[in-house]
Amino acid sequence: MGCTGCQMARSELSPAGTDNILALQSVESQAVGSAACSFLTRSFVIASNQPGLLVDATFAEELLGMFPNLGEHACKQNGIGFYQDKIIGSSLPHLIEHLAIDQMVSKQRLAGNSQAIAGFTKWIDHSKGLALVRLRVPVGLADSGDDEEAVKAAIKLVNAYYAKA
């Protein structure tokens, strides 16, 4: 359900260097909800040069140590549960979804806010390494660019981990 007066915006981003596993390719926004446009659905196209690469136990342990709330995220991948039970074997775009949500929720908590943020990840074209990460975020976070910043930070973290591996 869209709201009157809200428009879809699209920005094309150039992929990162070939040494990186992941790059943010594009971003789209669409208002959802009431006429007040309280939430935006932001769609991030993630390009991966290794689409078959999955989160292993070592990386999962490191991430759960760095982000203690990450494992507590609700997650519907392969049935309803918690991300701590699904992180090992997760695709990297799915990991990006959860890392971005974790960063945005942490920032909201520091500001005294508690609006829900939800995400969804699917492969657009696995053979080309293109995945879609959708985040449903409060308008304020999207307007400030916090959601895109969180996705970029998550991509940078994942790329840094695999660069040292």
* Domain-located, residue 4: no
Number of domains in the chain: 1
* Domain-located, residue 106: yes
- Note the pLDDT of residue 96: 96
pTM over 0.85: no
* Domain-located, residue 1: no
What is the distance of C-alpha 158 from the center of its chain? 12
* Domain-located, residue 18: yes
* Domain-located, residue 148: yes
- Note the pLDDT of residue 93: 96
- Note the pLDDT of residue 7: 34
- Note the pLDDT of residue 84: 73
141, 39 Cβ separation under 8 angstroms: no
- pLDDT, averaged per 10 consecutive residues of the chain (165 residues), comes to 34 50 84 64 93 94 91 73 78 94 85 80 94 86 80 95 87
- Note the pLDDT of residue 36: 55
- Note the pLDDT of residue 14: 38
Residue-number span of the structural domain to which 127 is assigned: 9-164
- Residue 122 sits at φ, ψ, to 5 deg, of -150, 155
Cα separation, 33 vs 40, in Å, equals 8
* Domain-located, residue 45: yes
